Amino acid sequence: MNIGFAGFGSMGKVHAYSALSCRYFFEKEGEPPTLYGVCASSYEKARSYAGEYGIARAYRSFEEMVADDEIDAIDICTPNIYHFDEIMLALKAGKDIYCEKPLCASYAEAERAAEAARDSGSVCGVVFNTRFLLPVMRAKELISAGRIGKILSYDFSFLHSSALDTNKTGWKQDRRYGGGVLYDLGSHAVDLAEHLCGRIESVSGKSQIAFETRRSFDGEDGWRTNADEAFYLRGAGRDGAVGTIRVGKIFHGTNDDFRFEIYGTKGSLSFNLMDPNFLKFYDAEADPLTRGVTAIECVGRYPAPATGFPGIKAPVGWLRGHIGSMHNFLSCAASRKTPSPSFDDGARNLAVLDAAYRSDAEGGREIKAGDD
């Protein structure tokens, strides 16, 4: 498979690394993919990415890249505001698509993109890489096997500290590029909450802007902050589960603190990405003499077809989730299967996020996810 990268900033490089790493982590299933093409915000940037990372071709525009018959799959790693147009052009050109989260910059766009993907012959996946973290995979297994019973309550948080520095503002903090922490970090938290705890039927939300002004993405001083720096969401599920989700980039002492606690009728689970080798499990049905929170080692023991590279005792990190996510997409593309997470999952995700924004705008009223 020849991959063409749209954007090669932080995520373009992570995806390239993941695509090249799959052969070490998984049983050999065919030829490894080729980093074939790249386009970026300028031709100069695209050329320098191509030179530095051994990518065969640099293009002047996205349009030029999708017109290249040699490219099989487009990997979308651009700011969110560009995703929709890129998806539609790539589908028209018959390419498979691996698209970063959030799928698009609104639920309305995401619904159209998911519908177009369904009507096409393309294999389309969205990057919810946290599903492929090993403790998360173990949590899914335990929940599916009924080990914590019926889920009653959960709490997810994804906390960073980067927005505390008001002199450094990225496009992810600017609504004009599809920024805001709910879209940026909340997309992961909402996806994982639904993946593990079931569909969120209705939400209420509250956004927070702690710093009214900051230096803008374009370098303008005293720029008025236009996107949420933190967001607080409450979600209610069909079967009675109630959850809270807190995301933001204004939390001192945090780095990449993605945590969850899930409470069921028979036990509970908890996880923190800063401690990625372990899933904590409390089994309320265990022998009272030894009952207590167990730290389940997840380390290098990956499910098939993984090889346990570099060894079953080796500790894991965040990149392992991206390698798993990329492998999932590549093997689905090879067998022409719709991957999970799919574009439908990406659209579903934006249904919840946009309902939370609407709730915030309407004073915190509870809103059904997916209502227009």
Ligand X SMILES: NC(=O)c1ccc[n+]([C@@H]2O[C@H](COP(=O)([O-])OP(=O)(O)OC[C@H]3O[C@@H](n4cnc5c(N)ncnc54)[C@H](O)[C@@H]3O)[C@@H](O)[C@H]2O)c1
Q: Does 77 bind ligand X (CB under 6 A)?
A: yes
Residue closer to ligand X, measured from CB, 51 or 240: 51
CB of 38 to ligand X, least distance (A): 8
Task: Show the site string, 80-99: x = touches ligand X by CB under 6 A, - = not.
Answer: x-x-----------------
Question: What DSSP element (H or E) covers 75?
Answer: strand 73-76
Residue spans of alpha helices (H) in the chain: 10-25, 43-53, 62-66, 83-92, 107-118, 134-144, 181, 187-197, 318-335, 343-361
CB of 14 to ligand X, least distance (A): 7
Residue corresponding to tokens 């902050």: 225
CB of 311 to ligand X, least distance (A): 25
CB of 188 to ligand X, least distance (A): 7
Burial (CB count <10 Å: 0-12, 13-18, 19+), residue 294: middle
CA distances (Å), origin 324, targets 2, 66, 148, 152, 350: 19, 26, 25, 29, 23
CB of 111 to ligand X, least distance (A): 18
Candidates 6-14, 22-30, 138-146, 235-243; binding stretch for ligand X (CB under 6 A): 6-14
Q: Which of 25, 90, 95, 101 binds ligand X (CB under 6 A)?
A: 101
Residue closer to ligand X, measured from CB, 9 or 149: 9
Give the other-Cβ count within 10 Å of 136's Cβ: 25
Q: Give the C-alpha separation, 294 to 58, whole Å.
A: 50
Q: Which of 10, 213, 226, 265 binds ligand X (CB under 6 A)?
A: 10
Q: Give the C-alpha separation, 322 to 127, whole Å.
A: 8
Give the total of residues touching ligand X (CB under 6 A). Answer: 23
CB of 46 to ligand X, least distance (A): 8
Candidates 4-12, 17-25, 89-97, 334-342; binding stretch for ligand X (CB under 6 A): 4-12
Task: Show the site string, 31-50: x = touches ligand X by CB under 6 A, - = not.
Answer: --------xxx---x-----
Cα-Cα end-to-end distance for the chain:
39
Q: Which of 18, 21, 78, 254 binds ligand X (CB under 6 A)?
A: 78
Q: Are 72 and 3 in contact (CB under 8 A)?
A: yes
Q: What share of the chain is helix, strand, coil (3-state, %, to 5)?
A: 35, 25, 40
Residue closer to ligand X, measured from CB, 46 or 148: 46
Task: Show the site string, 46-75: x = touches ligand X by CB under 6 A, - = not.
Answer: ----------------x-------------
Candidates 3-11, 244-252, 276-284, 338-346; binding stretch for ligand X (CB under 6 A): 3-11
Q: Does 9 bind ligand X (CB under 6 A)?
A: yes
Q: Does 176 bind ligand X (CB under 6 A)?
A: no
Written as one letter, the residue type at 111 is E
Q: Does 6 bind ligand X (CB under 6 A)?
A: yes
Burial (CB count <10 Å: 0-12, 13-18, 19+), residue 12: buried
Q: Give the C-alpha separation, 339 to 122, whole Å.
A: 11
Q: Give the C-alpha separation, 74 to 90, whole Å.
A: 7
Candidates 5-13, 227-235, 242-250, 328-336; binding stretch for ligand X (CB under 6 A): 5-13
Q: Give the C-alpha separation, 35 to 55, whole Å.
A: 5
Give the other-Cβ count within 10 Å of 308's Cβ: 13
Task: Show the site string, 122-141: x = touches ligand X by CB under 6 A, - = not.
Answer: -----x-x------------
Residue closer to ligand X, measured from CB, 91 or 148: 91
Q: Does 185 bind ligand X (CB under 6 A)?
A: no
Q: State the residues that interact with ligand X by CB under 6 A.
A: 6-12, 39-41, 45, 62, 77-80, 82, 100-101, 127, 129, 171, 184
